[in-house]
Amino acid sequence: MEVTEEDLQLINALQIAPRISWADAAGILGAHATTLAARWERLRASGAAWSTAHSMGDPKQMCLALVDVDCEMTSRAEVTAALAAIPEVVTVEEAASNRDLMLTVITPTLTQLSDIVLTQLKEIRGLTKYQTSLCTRLHSGGYAWRLNVLDKSQIAALQALAGPESSGPAPAGNQGAPLPQSHLDLLPFLAMDGRAAAADIARGLGRNPATVQRQLNRVLASRVLSFRCEIAQQYSGYPITCQWFANVPPGQHEAAAAELRNFRNVRLSASTTGRTNFVILMWLHSLADVMNAEQALQLRIPGIELVESVVVLNTAKRVGWMLNPDSTATGAVVVPAAEPAP
């Protein structure tokens, strides 16, 4: 599979405007709408790129946890598969560090993390130890990461046509009324295809297309979902993933997060509980860039202490999508059950 410059431009466009019509995108990218549709279908079919959406829940209640896992050496594959099958475990990574696996877990509440997820971890044969850190503030995530292959005028044109789904999850306090179950039923379809049309969802649910279109419009406007267009990492130009566990002085976290927005390759920055209080994850060109990134972080963020760096050897699952060893999507998606808010 070859990913061309035109393919990268299309992926970048869908990162900015996840559900833009092919007709609108055509005028910006200088290609016919049918050409763009065929190009996207080829990327999707090969697993080189995919569009997805996942629920972030109520920011005042939702729990994002980073869990380190140790397992028996001979059981790593089985443990990885068992962890990836848990819907709330959205990402599973194999680490070159003093832990075997790193998990990203999202649950609607802290109680559900303990009652649903951690209970299951204890039952996995071969899993010997886990340690949990909680995200106290998510500063940036993969939904905000961009390929940056488009020019400024193209980016501005895409932003002007982007819908509410491009804005990221709504901040705490800005949620409207909870969505009814009839609307939440649409979420698994959007997890499997962030560009799913109302007509396709209606066929899957056995509902009237006009009804589903109204429900879809409300779901998108509610901003309860985080949309993203993903690319297989091997085609991104950044094949190395490194995560740093750091300490940032109290009161300086927002300033550090603002500085990190100037780093184009940051995929995650968050304040956390645990042995350290800040996590940074970047995609890098090479292993040599690990030291370059560390020097840049120490130069740009006064007082930061980089306690540990972890290079990811393999990603088995990323935001619900199962991945092949070469970082392409298998097409299998593990979708959490959508539950109405209390």
CA dist 54 and 286 (Å) reads: 30
Task: Establish if 71 belongs to a structural domain.
Answer: yes
Q: Which residue has the tokens 């304040």?
A: 271
**What is the predicted pLDDT for the residue at 121?**
97
**What is the predicted pLDDT for the residue at 340?**
43
Task: Establish if 180 belongs to a structural domain.
Answer: yes
**What is the predicted pLDDT for the residue at 174?**
52
Longest dimension (CA), the chain: 58
Q: Which two tokens stand for residue 174?
A: 């800005």
CA dist 81 and 322 (Å) reads: 10
Task: Establish if 262 belongs to a structural domain.
Answer: no
Task: Establish if 199 belongs to a structural domain.
Answer: yes
CA distances from 218 to 58, 61, 179, 224 (A): 16, 21, 8, 10
Task: Establish if 209 belongs to a structural domain.
Answer: yes
CA dist 165 and 187 (Å) reads: 13
**What is the predicted pLDDT for the residue at 163?**
82
**Segment-wise mean pLDDT, segments of 10 residues, the chain, 342 residues:** 96 97 97 98 98 79 94 96 97 94 95 96 97 95 93 97 76 66 94 96 97 96 91 97 97 97 95 97 97 97 97 97 98 75 38
> How open is the CA angle 225-200-202, to the nearest 5 degrees?
85
Residues in contact with 111: Cβ distance below 8 Å, sequence separation at least 6, in sequence order: none
Question: Does residue 68 contact residue 102 with C-beta atoms inside 8 Å?
Answer: yes
Task: Establish if 298 belongs to a structural domain.
Answer: no
Task: Establish if 241 belongs to a structural domain.
Answer: no
Structural domain range at position 322: 1-236+314-342
311 bridge partner residues: 96, 242
**What is the predicted pLDDT for the residue at 32?**
97
Task: Establish if 118 belongs to a structural domain.
Answer: yes
Candidates 330, 324, 316, 325; CA nearest to 86 is 316
What's the chain's average pLDDT? Answer: 93
**What is the predicted pLDDT for the residue at 59?**
63
Candidates 88, 80, 85, 137; CA nearest to 115 is 88
Residues in contact with 278: Cβ distance below 8 Å, sequence separation at least 6, in sequence order: 245, 246, 247, 248, 253, 256, 269, 270, 271, 272, 304
Question: Does residue 67 contact residue 51 with C-beta atoms inside 8 Å?
Answer: no
SS (HEC) of the chain: CCCCHHHHHHHHHHHHCCCCCHHHHHHHHCCCHHHHHHHHHHHHHHCCEEEEEEECCCCCCCEEEEEEEEECHHHHHHHHHHHHCCCCEEEEEEEECCCCEEEEEEECCHHHHHHHHHHHHCCCCCEEEEEEEEEEEEEECHHHCCCCCCCHHHHHHHHHHCCHHHHCCCCCCCCCCCCCHHHHCCHHHHHHCCCCCHHHHHHHHCCCHHHHHHHHHHHHHHCCEEEEEEECHHHCCCCEEEEEEEECCCCCHHHHHHHHCCCCCEEEEEEECCCCCEEEEEEECCCHHHHHHHHHHHHHCCCCEEEEEEEEEEEEEECCEEECCCCCEEEEECCCCCCCCC
Q: What's the total number of domains in the chain?
A: 1
CATH at residue 107: 3.30.70.920
